[in-house]
Amino acid sequence: MSLVSDALFSSSPNADAPIGVFDSGVGGLTVLREIRRLLPAEDLLYVADSAYAPYGDKPSAVIAARALAITEFLLGQGAKAIVVACNTATGAAVQLLRAHYPIPVIAMEPAIKPAVERTRSGVIGVLATRRTLESPNLAQLVERFAGQSKILLQPCPGLVERIESGDLDGPATCALLEDYLEPLLAHCADTLVLGCTHYPLLRPVIQALAGPQILILDSGAAVARQVQRRLSESGILAPAGRVGRELFWTSANPGQVRPLIAWIWGDAFELGQWEAGAQLESRWIGSGLALEIPS
């Protein structure tokens, strides 16, 4: 059976339709991985908007426009739900998406609540893009859950770019992390919240630099549980027993993005190229498959 057929690209939401997921780049694969673990029967579509990464230094209007364009594309592929696997895009666009589309739109939420519940020192560090740290969403979470805990906000310029380039543990990446971790650890933070979906890809390095006593939290598993709950409430969970499939697109050069996706996901995947604003042929790497993608 061709991947481009049947329920995978159904035009109306139903239990057999796929879940659409997107991020500014490959970081959202950390969320996609948790969705796959929890929901093995679901078909998954993923768009890595790597040509526009990072979103954290873009104007809100640009981020919202990208989010709308990608969502339109995923809905054109029959997506029954959208997962905004990007904290920055959540702040800039999720309300707009929910207002425009009558399907479940699941967004990111930094793990402030579990961090407050688990900290021992009462000091929590949040690593994220500057735009995420300045967002009303995060301010509301801190106001709601922080209580007596001290929340330290640490912007991390340059980290997403290092990850998108494939440098997950090189000297330049480690130097950035040391600079960003030092003030948090100096103030006795014992819990770190990874407020960008790219950052879990650096978890081993962060743990090594911060020390084994530091608790590191991200939101991937919680988002996967929210996806499961929303699909169940809507009666559109995929039937148990089937094997879910995945399709991937990137707005960058697939040849450049493929090695990093392979490192995260494994070698067996289909990767197409997508651009907003034009009728574009999807060039399937290694599959010989092509289809017209509506913008």
Q: Is 137 annotated as a binding residue?
A: no
- Does any domain span residue 228? yes
Among 156, 174, 188, 196, the active-site one is: 196
CB 153 within 8 A of CB 178: no
> Could you give the number of structural domains in the chain?
2
Question: 240 and 162 share a domain?
Answer: no
187 assigned ligand-binding residue: no
Domain of residue 64, residue span: 6-108+222-293
Helices (H) and strands (E) in the chain, counts: 11, 12
Between 43-47, 230-234, 290-294, the lowest mean confidence (pLDDT) is in 290-294
Amino acid 286: pLDDT? 30
Residue pair 180/154 in contact by the 8 Å Cβ criterion: yes
DSSP 148: T
> Does residue 188 lie within any of the structural domains?
yes
44's CB contacts (< 8 A; 6+ apart) are 18, 19, 21, 32, 35, 36, 244, 245, 246, 247
Distance CA 214, CA 145 (A): 20
- One-letter amino acid at 26 equals V
Residue 122 is classified by DSSP as: S
DSSP code of 120? S
Q: CATH number of the domain that 93 lies in?
A: 3.40.50.1860
The model's pLDDT over 101-157, given as tens digits with 9 standing for 90+, comes to 999 999 999 999 999 999 999 999 999 999 999 999 999 999 999 999 999 999 999
Same domain, 208 and 256: no
**Residue 90 annotated as part of some ligand binding site:** no
267 and 232 in a common domain: yes
Average pLDDT, the chain: 90
Query: In sequence order, which ranges of the chain are alpha helices (DSSP H)?
Result: 29-38, 60-76, 87-100, 112-118, 130-133, 136-145, 159-164, 171-186, 203-210, 220-234, 254-265
Q: Are residues 233 and 174 in the same domain?
A: no
**Which of 154, 187, 218 delimits the end of a domain?**
218
Does the active-site annotation cover 188?
A: no
Give the number of residues written for the chain.
295
**Co-location of 264 and 233 in the same domain:** yes
Same domain for 25 and 60?
Answer: yes
Q: What's the average model confidence in pLDDT over 83-108?
A: 96
254 and 117 in one domain? Answer: no
Domain match, 12 and 137 both: no
- Domain match, 213 and 118 both: yes
76 is in an annotated binding site: no
Q: Are residues 63 and 22 in the same domain?
A: yes
Last residue of a domain, one of 195, 218, 241: 218
Can the peptide bond before residue 254 be classed as cis, meaning omega within 30 degrees of 0? Answer: no
| Nearest CA-CA partner of 27 in 164, 230, 212, 122 | 164
252 and 176 within one domain: no
Residue 1 lies in a domain: no
- Establish if 232 belongs to a structural domain: yes
Q: Which residue matches tokens 């697939």?
A: 254
Domain boundary among 196, 218, 240: 218
CB atoms under 10 Å from CB of 279, counted, come to 9
Q: Name the pLDDT band for 56 (thresholds 50, 70, 90).
A: confident
Question: Does 196 qualify as catalytic in the annotation?
Answer: yes
Picking from 37, 60, 90, the residue whose alpha carbon sits closest to that of residue 265 is 37
The answer on 226 and 163 residing in a single domain is no
At 13 the pLDDT is: 67
What pTM did the predictor assign?
0.88
